[in-house]
Amino acid sequence: GESVGLHLPTLSVQEGDNSIINCAYSNSASDYFIWYKQESGKGPQFIIDIRSNMDKRQGQRVTVLLNKTVKHLSLQIAATQPGDSAVYFCAERGRTGGSYIPTFGRGTSLIVHP
Amino acid sequence: DTGVSQNPRHKITKRGQNVTFRCDPISEHNRLYWYRQTLGQGPEFLTYFQNEAQLEKSRLLSDRFSAERPKGSFSTLEIQRTEQGDSAMYLCASTSRASDVDEKLFFGSGTQLSVL
């Protein structure tokens, strides 16, 4: 039988299109959020971050939006390129015991077609 | 290359054997994390060190798992009496707390463990 847990949400786009990847987070007390990109066989790589006192932050070709009311993050990638194909994770930093620990969501697979 | 080095890259072992992984973080980073990642899932927190002190340990971490960071530099993660369910990618990350808020993790490429 098929295991739902093995299938990542997937977003397929054409090269040059804009991509929007969404993430729902769980802890309303989380103070810091990060997007990571993970290519096959590699560890996650930092893309962009945002503090909880902001609602938008822009980087090079990427923008992160934070909606604390509905506990939602999005990552927008402009002019998507084949090299952007990877799995994207959002992470929230919340309190675990006496420390702040980044906790990762499940991830979205982005496939960019040339 | 992020500067975080993990060895070995791959480990195949038989059920019941002990395995040890090593992580060399970026040299000036005082914080070190271990995560585990299975196929189709995000990294799952295992344990966290600040310098040589192990400050947090996940409640999901069985007592067969132990981690050390003896001199506040490299770290080892040992799994005793491995089980097939331990098969996963084990990721190490490090960071230096430049502020009270920002905490970008730099990840190594991981050790892929397969327990037969």
pLDDT tens profile A28-81: 888 899 999 999 989 999 999 999 999 999 999 999 999 999 999 999 999 999
Determine the pLDDT at residue B40.
Answer: 87
**Quick one: CA torsion of B4, B7, B12, B18, rounded to 10 degrees?**
-110
Q: How confident is the model at residue B28 (pLDDT cuts 50, 70, 90)?
A: confident
* pLDDT at residue A26, rounded to an integer: 84
Q: Which residues of A touch B42 (CB under 8 A)?
A: 89, 91, 104-107
3-class DSSP state of B84: helix
The pLDDT value given to residue A3: 35
**HEC secondary structure over chain A:** CCCHHHCCCEEEEECCCCEEEEEECCCCCCCEEEEEEECCCCCCEEEEEEECCCCEEECCCEEEEEECCCCEEEEEECCCCHHHCEEEEEEEEEEECCEEEEEECCCEEEEEEC
pLDDT of residue B100: 53
Which amino acid is located at B75 in the chain? S
Task: Give pLDDT, residue B104.
Answer: 85
Q: Is the pLDDT of residue B102 over 80?
A: no
Pick B102's closest partner by Cβ from A49, A104, A107.
A49
Q: How far apart are CA B11 and CA B86, in angstroms?
A: 12
A32–B43: do the CB atoms touch at under 8 Å?
no
The confidence score (pLDDT) of residue B64 equals: 96
* Average pLDDT of chain B to the nearest whole number: 92
What residues does B6 pair with on adjacent strands?
A: B23
First to last CA, chain A: 33
Contact B105 A49 (CB under 8 A): no
Asked if residue B36 has pLDDT above 70, the reply is yes
Segment B53-87, tens digit of pLDDT: 999 999 878 999 999 999 889 999 999 999 999 99
A6, A44, A100: residue with CB nearest B39: A6
Angle at A68 between CA A65 and CA A70, to 5 degrees: 100
**Contact yes or no for B41 and A32 at CB 8 A:** no
Residue A103 predicted with pLDDT over 70? yes
Shortest distance, CA A32 to any CA of chain B (angstroms): 7
User: Which residues is B10 bridged to in the sheet?
Assistant: B112
Distance CA B110, CA B116 (A): 19
Q: Between residues 4 and 43 of chain B, which touch chain A (CB distance below 8 Å)?
A: 4, 33, 35, 39-43
Residue B79: predicted pLDDT? 97
Among candidates B101, B102, B110 on the partner chain, residue whose Cβ is nearest the Cβ of A43 = B110
Q: Using the beta-carbon criterion (under 8 Å), do A107 and B42 form an inter-chain contact?
A: yes
CA–CA gap between residue A88 and residue A84 (Å, rounded) = 10
Closest to A32 (Cβ–Cβ): which among B42, B91, B102? B102
Query: What pLDDT does residue B98 have?
Result: 58
Task: Provide the pLDDT for residue B101.
Answer: 56
Q: How far is B41 from chain A (nearest CA, A)?
A: 5
A72-101 pLDDT, tens per residue? 999 999 999 999 999 999 999 877 677 778
Q: Which residue has the higher pLDDT, B8 or A8?
A: B8
pLDDT at A7: 64
Find the residue in A nearest to B47 (Cα).
Answer: A101
pLDDT at A4: 38
Among B29, B11, B27, CA closest to B78: B11
